[in-house]
Structure formats: C-alpha cells, structure tokens
C-alpha cells in the first residue's frame, strides 16, 4: 500500500528533525554548554560545561590571556595564541586570584581553580576509558611533530567533549600532589610526595608520555618552558573569596 506524500506542514518538521540528528555527528561535543568570560585587552576565556557538571577551559590558558590578567608574560616561546608556559604551581595560584577578582569573572558565577588529577583524567578521556590518543599527530604536539616548540592552542583535533590540546603542547598543572595518588612507602619516596602532578605531556615529550595515563610531577615553585595550565571551575555564584589552585584549601 502506497502512502500519499507528506504535506508541507508535516514534511518540514520531519526534515528539520532529521537534519538536526545528522548534524550531531559533526559536532565534537554537541551537548556541552559553553560560556565566554571577557578579559582586559579584548581577550576572552572560553569554558565548557562537561556532562559531569564541571567547567573546563576549552583551551590551555594562552599568553594573551595570562598577560591580560597579570600584566606580564613569563613564557619562553612568545605569541598571544601560544599556551603560557614557564609558570609554577604558585604562579597559577596568583593567576587564579587575579582572574577571580575581575568583574566579568565574578559575574560568570564560576569559581575558578586547577583541576584535581582525577577531574583532569575524566575530562581528558571525555568520561570514557580510552588509553591513548587514536591519532597522535592529529591530537597532540609532541617531540615527533612539534619542531621543538609550542604551537597556538586549538590547532589539533579536540576530544569528544570539545577540549583541545589535552595531549601535548604544554603539560598542565593539577591540584593533586604525587603522594595523594602514590602514597610514599619509604623515606626516599617521601622526598617527592609533595610535588604536584602534571598531566597531558608536552611538546618535548614522546607520544606515549602524552597519553591519558601518563603523569609527571614538579615542585610548587618550579617553572619550566613545557609547563602551563588549563582552568577548571565549579558553579558557585555567591563565592566572593579568590580560590587557590586547590580550590577551597590553601596551597
């Protein structure tokens, strides 16, 4: 039995519905909400709300954003769109305090901090359990393809939550100490237990060291030309105090 063609007022909604479904395949994170926070000097931060309710920076913090907030640029490789590097964990705390004091940051309703090691891991894997990037050159700047330097953020493919450069470019500080994840078993291991965990690998790391399960560490006052940060935030519209890198606790 043949059915008559659908009339215009029925066909149009059906066509729109089909197109909407098909368009989801082209969006790396179709269900993720985004928010932009304006900074001085025509700079802006883009944050994405992940399905677990946390907000993450779509990109690593750039030199332009750091300079807009702090008034200085500590990076070894210079460029406004390059990720900021040569910043210590303590430097990140000062950046978070200055950022949180800006009117636009206060109006965003977000409380900014560094992610914990576990939060970073979940965001990197986009909630899944993928052990490594599927296409190293497509997803990360590493020792094999970086040319010995950092590159502008957002040039590589994002993960499934729309977060760029989770692999390579610069290693990213977390708020978790090495001892929190790997409790020291002897005096020798206690020496580095207070160092903070770095995730994601960097432009000078082997591809396997940019994998989601790879970790590095450094002391809170150390700054290197392969180390930067990505913002994490929680919704806290009544918060007035500037957070530390660890969130509510002191560094």
Q: Is the pLDDT of residue 56 over 70?
A: yes
Partners of 113 in beta bridges: 232
The model's confidence at residue 242, banded by pLDDT at 50, 70 and 90, is very low
The pLDDT assigned to 152 comes to: 98
Overall pTM surpassing 0.85 (yes/no): no
Among 4-18, 97-111, 205-219, name the one with the lowest average pLDDT. Answer: 4-18
Among 65-69, 86-90, 243-247, name the one with the lowest average pLDDT. Answer: 243-247
The range of the structural domain enclosing residue 33 comes to 28-235
121 domain-assigned: yes
Q: Provide the number of structural domains found in the chain.
A: 1
> 143 — phi, psi (to 5°)?
-60, -20
- Exposure class string for 203-213: b at 16+ Cβ within 10 A, else e: bbbebebbbbe
112 domain-assigned: yes
Q: Compute the mean pLDDT over every residue in the chain, rounded to the nearest whole number.
A: 84
Q: Is the pLDDT of residue 184 over 80?
A: no
The pLDDT assigned to 7 comes to: 44
161 domain-assigned: yes
For position 186, which CATH number holds?
3.90.1580.10
246 domain-assigned: no
Higher pLDDT, 4 or 182: 182
The pLDDT assigned to 191 comes to: 75
18 domain-assigned: no
Q: Is the pLDDT of residue 209 over 50?
A: yes
The pLDDT assigned to 251 comes to: 40
167 domain-assigned: yes
Q: Is the pLDDT of residue 86 over 80?
A: yes
- What is the 3 state secondary structure string of the chain? CCCCCCCHHHHHHHHHHHHHHHHHHHCCCCCCEEEEEECHHHCEEEEEECCCCCEEECCCCEHHHHHHHHCCCCCCCCCCCCECCCCCHHHHHHHHHHHHCCHHHHHCCEEEECCCHHHHHHHHCCCCCCCCCCCHHHHEECCCCCCCCCCCCCCCCCCCCCCCCCEECCEEEEEEEHHHHCCCCCHHHHCCCCCEEEECCCCCCCHHHHCCCCEEEECCCCCCCCEECCCEEEECCCCCCCCECCECCCC
Q: State how far the Cα of 128 lies from the Cα of 48, in Å rounded to an integer.
A: 17
The pLDDT assigned to 1 comes to: 42
209 domain-assigned: yes
- Please state whether beta strands 110-113 and 232-235 pair in parallel, antiparallel, or not at all (unpaired): antiparallel
The pLDDT assigned to 141 comes to: 96
The pLDDT assigned to 113 comes to: 98
Q: Is the pLDDT of residue 9 over 70?
A: no
49 domain-assigned: yes
Highest mean pLDDT among 28-32, 192-196, 238-242: 192-196
Q: Is the pLDDT of residue 145 over 70?
A: yes
């Amino acid at each position: 039995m043949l059915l008559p063609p659908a009339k215009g007022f029925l066909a149009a909604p059906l066509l729109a519905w089909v197109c909407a479904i098909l368009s989801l395949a082209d969006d790396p994170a179709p269900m993720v909400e985004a928010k932009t926070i304006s900074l001085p000097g025509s700079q802006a931060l883009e944050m994405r709300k992940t399905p677990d309710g946390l907000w993450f920076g779509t990109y690593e913090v750039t030199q332009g954003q750091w300079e807009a907030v702090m008034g200085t640029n500590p990076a070894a490789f210079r460029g406004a769109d390059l990720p900021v590097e040569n910043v210590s964990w303590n430097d990140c705390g000062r950046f978070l305090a200055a950022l949180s004091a800006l009117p636009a940051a206060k109006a965003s309703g977000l409380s900014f901090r560094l992610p914990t090691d576990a939060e970073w891991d979940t965001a990197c894997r986009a909630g899944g359990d993928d052990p490594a990037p599927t296409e190293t050159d497509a997803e990360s700047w590493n020792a094999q393809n970086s040319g010995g330097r950092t590159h502008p953020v957002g040039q590589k493919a994002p993960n499934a939550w729309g977060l760029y450069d989770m692999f390579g470019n610069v290693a990213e500080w977390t708020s978790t100490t090495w001892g929190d994840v790997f409790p020291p078993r002897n005096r020798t291991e206690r020496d580095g237990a207070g160092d903070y965990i770095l995730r994601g690998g960097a432009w000078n790391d082997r591809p396997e060291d940019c994998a989601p399960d790879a970790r590095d560490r450094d002391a809170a006052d150390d700054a290197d030309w392969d180390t930067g940060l990505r913002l994490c935030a929680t919704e806290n519209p009544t918060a007035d105090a500037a957070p530390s890198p660890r969130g509510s606790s002191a560094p």
